[in-house]
Amino acid sequence: MTVTQRPQRPACRPYDRIAVIGAGAWGTALAAVAATAGRKVRLFSRDNQVAQSINADHVNTRYLPDVALPDTLVAVTDMAAALDGADAVIMVVPSRAVRSVAAQVARYIVHGVPVAVCSKGIEPTTGLLMTQVAEQELGAHPLGTVSGPTFARETALGHPTAASVAFPFTPMDRLAPHESTAARFAHTLSTESFRTYISDDLVGVEIGGAVKNVIAIACGMMTGAGFAENTRAALITRGMEEMKVLAEALGGRRETVTGLSGAGDLTLTCSSTTSRNMSLGVQLGQGTARADCFGGKPVVVEGEANATSVIDLARRVGVSMPICETVDAVLTGHAELRQAFRDLWTRPIEAEPRALGVSFTNPVMVAATPINDERQI
């Protein structure tokens, strides 16, 4: 009997020394993944107590208090020390801090070292994606991201998780894809529980990560307002279409949005209040004032910070994103939540798929028809 042999695959070289900039929940989780994969990891934290707890007790007491971290993971509070000798860098900071942190990283990083910017969002006023913001501060470095349906705690605990690693491909990468930055980063982070996929569509991956947070707030609002699964499924599906249209307008691929960094991340974020975006929406939908959400604590919610920048960018490129526009109108106080969603549901009837080109006035006249059930939209 002849045993069928698996085809030989070319070897891929991982990066060995990794600097992770940002010791929040996701930064700590990615640092733990890299350390578990056998890499030498230095995790930069601005908080001395966080660094001490990681080094002494192997736990991030502030962000992942119930997760045991690898003994080999080293936390530092000095940026230069974190970047010293690093083969690759992972930046995991709030989207609003990407520019300032990238400028600090630029002082110490060695020329040509690749950087994965794992923040999700669009910069206000400029309309730049997070890797584009970092590029302006860092200059000539391979820039990409790691994105997917990944709650930090579950990832750090070793639950099976998958994510996309996206970097642009050079002509040489096309000839030897196993030597591409994306492939090497994917190898670097691969463990028994953390499975990576390689992408060359950085725009598509980043748009998925930015827009899904806004759609998650929409889903949370509707859940908090008392609506059920039909509504959430519709918002997820049509929200993914908004992601596709924006990605395509910016040079990304619709196909990418159906993958882990788009549909996968969107489904996860819109399905659990573990997501701060979904949680904020639920609280607002229940009538909680924004200042009182999260018990009054100043919790950063990326979808809230990026809703306006998402629709501003969409308008620049001539793309309609009605769900994101509705969320922004509610968050900025320009619309009352229930009325805004009534208006969303009674927009002109359109075709699916878009290629049919059909659109006509919705026969439902909300303004002229009294609504007795306050949940009706």
Predicted local distance difference test score (pLDDT) of residue 18:
98
- The domain defined by 17-200 folds into Rossmann fold (3.40.50)
Cα–Cα dist 185/170, whole Å: 15
Contact between 278 and 269 (Cβ < 8 Å): yes
Q: What is the mean pLDDT of each run of 10 residues along the chain (377 residues)?
A: 62 95 98 98 97 98 97 98 97 97 97 97 96 96 97 98 97 92 97 98 98 98 96 97 97 97 97 96 97 94 95 96 97 95 93 89 65 43
Beta strand 17-21 with 88-91 is parallel
Return the domain boundaries, the chain: 17-200, 208-368
- The domain defined by 208-368 folds into N-(1-d-carboxylethyl)-l-norvaline Dehydrogenase; domain 2 (1.10.1040)
> If we measure between CA atoms, which residue out of 166, 343, 162 comes closest to residue 267?
162
Tell me if residue 196 falls in helix, strand or coil.
Answer: strand
Structure token digits, residue 253: 């691929």
Residue ranges of E strands in the chain? 17-21, 40-44, 74-76, 88-91, 115-117, 143-147, 161-166, 194-199, 349-350, 359-360
Predicted local distance difference test score (pLDDT) of residue 5:
62
Structure token digits, residue 244: 């596709």
Q: Work out the widest C-alpha separation in the chain, in whole angstroms.
A: 78
Instruction: Report how far apart, in Å, the C-alpha atoms of 118 and of each of 106, 301, 338 are.
Output: 17, 15, 34
- Whole-model pTM: value is 0.92
Active site residues: 212
Predicted local distance difference test score (pLDDT) of residue 3:
54
146 φ/ψ angles, rounded to the nearest 5 degrees: -125, 120
